[in-house]
Chains A and B, each alone.
Chain A
Amino acid sequence: MLASLTALGWTFMLASILGVTTLTYWCFKRVLFPPHDEPELPGGLGP
């Protein structure tokens, strides 16, 4: 018989899923609702 999900298994699964979901949510939030007072970052190669 197969071993059921262990405490470590739960930990790895939940940490992976929560980590990825949080990152995705944070990214889409920044893309769809950018902070208004965000200064433009310096950079670029210019002409």
Chain B
Amino acid sequence: MTNQPTQQWGSRLGVILAVAGSAVGLGNFLRFPGNAAENGGGAFMIPYFLALLIVGIPIGWAEWAIGRYGGRKGFHSAPGILGIWCKGPIGRYAGVLGVLIPLGVYFYYVLIESWCLYYFWKYCTGGIGLEPATDVASVQVPHTRGFFNEVVGAADNGALFHTMHPVLVAFCLTVVCNVWFVYRGLSKGIETVCKYAMPVMAVLGIVILIRVLTLSAPAGTTGQTVVDGLGYLWNPNFEKLSNFKTWVAATGQIFFSLSVGFGVIINYASYMKKKDDVVLSGLTASATNEFFEVVLGGLITVTASVVFVGVLLTSQATGGSMSLGFKTLPMVFAQMPGGNFFGAAFFLILFLAAITSSLSMLQPSKAFFEEALGIDKVKSTTLVTVWGLIGNAFVLYYSKGLTALDTIDFWVGSVFIMVVAAVQIIAFGWIFGLERGIAEAHQGSQLRIPKFFQFVIKYVSPAYLIVIMIGFCLNNAPGYVDTLLGNVTTSPQLSVVSQRDLAAAFPAGSKLTYTWKQLGGEPVTLADAATAKPSFATKEPANAKNFEVPFELTVSDGATTKTFPAKAEVDVESPGSARRTWVFLLLTIAGLVAITAVGARRWKAEGRDLDGKLPAAD
């Protein structure tokens, strides 16, 4: 066993803010409002709060209790702790995912964090070059998207290095910040950052919220008011509740937002003392995350976007969090009086939200390396920094179309999280035993877990989680698997200007017919050709480069007929990028498995409780 002093949290509030800081991230401000608007508005809150009650809070409680008990056994990493709770090597090796997830997400998350820092800097020094009162669709949209694509290097692999883009400076600063605070340790590093960053985020968020709720759009723009913007997000559409995808989206939002199954709570809780409360602390961290998500996330971004750039551009951005934040909101700040100040404040919030999350991603790996390899904090910090930098460099270099980022985000940041959460809740309720688990959670607790939740933890949470996990994979995985297999599905798209003209030409609710005509390139066969969104499949050709296929769309409502140009951008390079990313991930997993095996031998030789058969030490 290493002879290092055991780390501990400085205060109870500190650990709560650290866990809440880990959970509050970009998704709270950008993903939640988009998800809600797309999936039924106010009605989305029904499955959303249900998922909070039967998945988010119960699994969170289990994770806090699992972590604290593991800490009493001298373990701070998911492989060590889950080995005890699952009583054997299966849990130990499933726990490798609990190290892979935070480390893998860190590979790309720190890049997004550096984009926030770069945008913050740009707004502090005059903005991103957008002029107000220019035509949004034909001038601001191309400029904003072009600026974003340059920042992320979407045009080509290695684009950021070829141009030595200044975002690389922001990236270096972000990495240095992360490594420094993680090196300083739990109390002096992570806890201190979160104790300052969380209140600053809340205050800045409330300032921006007040500004947004008192907005009025300049004459000649969208004509929408704040109340219209709120209506776009909150008016309930109950029909959406009959769609299984809405329930999957709501549960996914709760799940990814609270960071349960992420491998962080289990690590953070392992540094708590036996008599430290976990039930009220877990509930408080979840509630804090919900405050940032529902109150600040639910009122700021989409509302401002609808007021200044209209429903069309807002609805286009609701699919992905990055679009809303980096491609749409800059247009809002360009139109808004004092836009540079509010732009800087907003991206500072995003940066703080991101750094409190990314710090939590390094700590589990650092703890894992220390206890598995028996190394000190200098060596473990060096190892996690180098490993992280290799991952960052991979995602930075393979930036074309953001395929590497997207692949890791889906498999590691979505699917694997659900697997770890399922392992944890089954270990808590079934393998370790519900009564023992609840008794452990109640140790030193200021709040008793109600009987209702005990039933939920045992039966409802695992069943609901498994159903949603299957639904999530059925909805999303086929596209990713298809890409890995070299099948590329593409839809022709209208430009934003054409979309605006189409919306203006036909009243909402008109019964329209769509006719697509290919204007050039190798002939393709369109599926769903008579709809607004047809698609065609392309098999990945060897050594091919991405190409475009021109189309023409004719729309008619019987009385009026209009024709619009369209094009399909066929990304035949994405399968190669996705496969390369998977090779990288598999190498990472192999490395972590090998270290776990080394650790297991060490722990056995030291006479430590590997499989939960020895009593816990106080």
Query: Residues of A at under 8 Å CB distance from B?
Result: 1-6, 8-13, 15-17, 19-21, 23-24, 27-28, 30-32, 34, 38, 40-47
Contact B298 A16 (CB under 8 A): yes
Whole-angstrom CA separation of A12 from B47 in the bound complex? 13
Contact A47 B446 (CB under 8 A): no
Nearest B-chain residue to A19, judged by Cβ: B49
Whole-angstrom CA separation of A15 from B280 in the bound complex? 23
- Excluding A41-B444, A45-B69, 20 further A-B contacts by CB distance (< 8 Å) are A5-B230, A5-B231, A6-B231, A6-B235, A9-B230, A9-B231, A12-B45, A12-B234, A13-B298, A27-B288, A28-B288, A30-B447, A41-B442, A41-B448, A43-B442, A43-B445, A44-B439, A44-B442, A45-B440, A46-B616
Which residue from A4, A28, A43, A47 sits with its C-beta under 8 Å from B284?
Answer: A28
Residues on the B chain within 8 Å of A3, using CB: 228, 231, 235
Contact A5 B227 (CB under 8 A): yes
Nearest B-chain residue to A31, judged by Cβ: B284
Contact with A along B206-229 (1 / 0, CB 8 A): 000000000000000001110110
Shortest beta-carbon distance, A45 to chain B, in Å?
Answer: 5
Contact B227 A4 (CB under 8 A): yes
B528 proximal to A (CB < 8 A) = no
Whole-angstrom CA separation of A30 from B290 in the bound complex? 17
Count of chain A to chain B residue pairs whose CB atoms are closer than 8 Å in the complex? 122
Shortest beta-carbon distance, A40 to chain B, in Å?
Answer: 7
B281 proximal to A (CB < 8 A) = yes
Nearest A-chain residue to B72, judged by Cβ: A45
Contact A24 B616 (CB under 8 A): no
Interface size on B, residues (CB 8 A): 51
B313 proximal to A (CB < 8 A) = no
Contact A20 B287 (CB under 8 A): yes
Contact A32 B41 (CB under 8 A): no
Contact A27 B280 (CB under 8 A): yes
Shortest beta-carbon distance, B538 to chain A, in Å?
Answer: 37
B497 proximal to A (CB < 8 A) = no
Whole-angstrom CA separation of A20 from B234 in the bound complex? 15
Query: Residues of B at under 8 Å CB distance from A?
Result: 12-13, 16, 41-43, 45, 49, 69, 223-225, 227-228, 230-232, 234-236, 274, 280-281, 283-284, 287-288, 290-291, 294-295, 298-299, 306, 311, 436, 438-448, 615-618
Whole-angstrom CA separation of A41 from B447 in the bound complex? 8
A-B pairs with the 7 shortest C-beta distances? A12-B42, A43-B442, A44-B443, A27-B284, A5-B231, A9-B235, A13-B234
Contact B280 A23 (CB under 8 A): no
Whole-angstrom CA separation of A2 from B132 in the bound complex? 23
- Which of B13, B235, B439, B442 has the most chain A CB within a 10 Å cutoff? B235
Contact B445 A45 (CB under 8 A): no
- Which of B234, B288, B295, B311 has the most chain A CB within a 10 Å cutoff? B234
Query: Given that A43-B443, A45-B69 are known contacts, is A5 also in contact with B290, CB under 8 Å in the complex?
Result: no
Shortest beta-carbon distance, A20 to chain B, in Å?
Answer: 5
Residues on the B chain within 8 Å of A28, using CB: 284, 288
Residues on the A chain within 8 Å of B225, using CB: 4
Residues on the B chain within 8 Å of A9, using CB: 41-42, 230-231, 234-236
Whole-angstrom CA separation of A17 from B618 in the bound complex? 41
Nearest B-chain residue to A42, judged by Cβ: B442
Which residue from A24, A31, A32, A46 sits with its C-beta under 8 Å from B291?
Answer: A24
Contact A40 B444 (CB under 8 A): yes
Which residue from B13, B283, B299, B444 sits with its C-beta under 8 Å from A44?
Answer: B444
Shortest beta-carbon distance, B221 to chain A, in Å?
Answer: 14
Whole-angstrom CA separation of A30 from B603 in the bound complex? 39
Residues on the B chain within 8 Å of A6, using CB: 231, 235
Shortest beta-carbon distance, B530 to chain A, in Å?
Answer: 28
Whole-angstrom CA separation of A31 from B616 in the bound complex? 27
Which residue from A2, A40, A43 sits with its C-beta under 8 Å from B306?
Answer: A2
Nearest A-chain residue to B615, judged by Cβ: A47
Contact A21 B295 (CB under 8 A): yes
Residues on the A chain within 8 Å of B444, using CB: 40-41, 44
Whole-angstrom CA separation of A31 from B15 in the bound complex? 12
Residues on the B chain within 8 Å of A44, using CB: 274, 439-440, 442-444
Contact A4 B445 (CB under 8 A): no
Nearest B-chain residue to A32, judged by Cβ: B13
Contact B42 A13 (CB under 8 A): yes
Nearest B-chain residue to A29, judged by Cβ: B284
Residues on the B chain within 8 Å of A30, using CB: 280, 284, 446-447
Shortest beta-carbon distance, A10 to chain B, in Å?
Answer: 8
Residues on the A chain within 8 Å of B445, using CB: 41, 43
Whole-angstrom CA separation of A45 from B13 in the bound complex? 25
Shortest beta-carbon distance, B315 to chain A, in Å?
Answer: 11
Shortest beta-carbon distance, B295 to chain A, in Å?
Answer: 5
Whole-angstrom CA separation of A28 from B13 in the bound complex? 9
Residues on the A chain within 8 Å of B448, using CB: 41
Contact B236 A8 (CB under 8 A): yes
Contact A2 B311 (CB under 8 A): yes
Residues on the B chain within 8 Å of A34, using CB: 446
15 A-B contact pairs sorted by A residue (CB < 8 Å): A4-B228, A5-B227, A5-B230, A8-B235, A16-B42, A17-B294, A17-B299, A20-B295, A24-B291, A34-B446, A38-B446, A41-B446, A44-B444, A46-B616, A47-B615
Contact A47 B234 (CB under 8 A): no
Which residue from A2, A5, A41, A43 sits with its C-beta under 8 Å from B234?
Answer: A5
Query: Given that A30-B280, A43-B445 are known contacts, is A12 also in contact with B228, CB under 8 Å in the complex?
Result: no
Residues on the B chain within 8 Å of A19, using CB: 49
Residues on the B chain within 8 Å of A4, using CB: 225, 227-228, 231
Query: Given that A31-B284, A45-B440, A45-B616 are known contacts, is A5 also in contact with B228, CB under 8 Å in the complex?
Result: yes
Shortest beta-carbon distance, B618 to chain A, in Å?
Answer: 6
Contact A45 B436 (CB under 8 A): yes
Whole-angstrom CA separation of A9 from B227 in the bound complex? 10
Shortest beta-carbon distance, A31 to chain B, in Å?
Answer: 5
Residues on the A chain within 8 Å of B228, using CB: 2-5
Contact B294 A20 (CB under 8 A): yes
Residues on the A chain within 8 Å of B438, using CB: 43
Shortest beta-carbon distance, B571 to chain A, in Å?
Answer: 33
